[in-house]
Amino acid sequence: MQTADHIPPDVWAVNAPLWKLAVRGSLRWARVLILCAHLVLIGGGYLAVLCIAEWRGVSVWNAMSNLDESIPALPWTFAVYATLYLYFPITVLLAPRGLRGVRALLYHLQAQLVVSVLSWVVFLTLPTRIHVRDQMPPALASSGRFLQEAYAQLYALDAPWNAWPSLHISLSLLMLLCSAHFTRMKVGRHELWKRGKLDTLAIAIAAPCWLALCVSVLTTKQHFVLDVWTGALVGWLTWCLYLRKLLDSLVLEA
């Protein structure tokens, strides 16, 4: 029987309060707080690094390729770009129930922080300015006021410095892979097959949506092509070398 004093293997000490909350019976609140931790720690860290990069104003190299120049600016793809923020709650909702699900979400949070910290180091040591944003204002001239305001807010909040590897891509890929694994964990626990099939269908829909997200970071002129494939590589390696092993250990314990 799990006790609040027993912290599972590979759960970071900083996550101990969330685990203790779950063991004491507050499973729903533990999930909500894990979701909040994602948004506060990753979002707050990203903005802090962004402020430093903007203050320095240094670009050590130009990451733009000929392909970046040929990709059109498509203002309407802002809607696809913003779907990243749906991945966080969806991952929490798809996680298995009970303490095993909380533990899986804690492992997922840790993997997201690993990816974020690695990316922040690159942002600060090899900064490159995303100057392809200059292509967006002419495209916005024929767009409605809503999109014009949306881009104004986006560009004001997210200055063009944190380019590669794209956290938009690496974090969303980790969440997609994690959600797919959660579905297999549920089936492994002999939960209702109907629920398992519904979750599988959700992942089948999510995969092409993720590919559309990859395209949207280019058509909104938020990233270079280099940022996309390096972001995907960081997310994939973190999954293969770290997160998948932890989640597989939970399946074996079931």
pLDDT of residue 1: 47
Average pLDDT per run of 10 along the chain, which is 254 residues long? 63 79 77 82 89 87 85 92 88 82 88 93 90 87 87 85 89 90 62 53 78 94 93 95 87 55
Residue 221: other Cβ atoms inside 10 A: 26
- Nearest residue to 101 (alpha-carbon basis) of 229, 200, 2, 201: 2
Contact 167, 46 (CB under 8 A): yes
Residue-level pLDDT at 190: 46
Total-model pTM:
0.84
Helix (H, G, I), strand (E, B) or coil at 74: coil
Other Cβ atoms less than 10 A from the Cβ of 199: the count is: 20
* Alpha carbons 112 and 43: distance in angstroms, whole number: 11
Q: Which of 114, 119, 126, 139 is closest to 48 using CA atoms? A: 119
Closest by alpha carbon to 196, among 207, 208, 204, 185? 185
| Burial class of residue 200 in the structure, from the number of CB atoms within 10 Å of its CB (0-12 exposed, 13-18 middle, 19+ buried) | middle
Give the Cα separation of 241 and 236 in Å (integer): 9
Q: Which of 110, 112, 114 is nearest to 12 (CA)?
A: 110
* CB atoms inside a 10 Å sphere around CB 86: 13
Task: Locate the domains of the chain by residue range.
Answer: 13-253
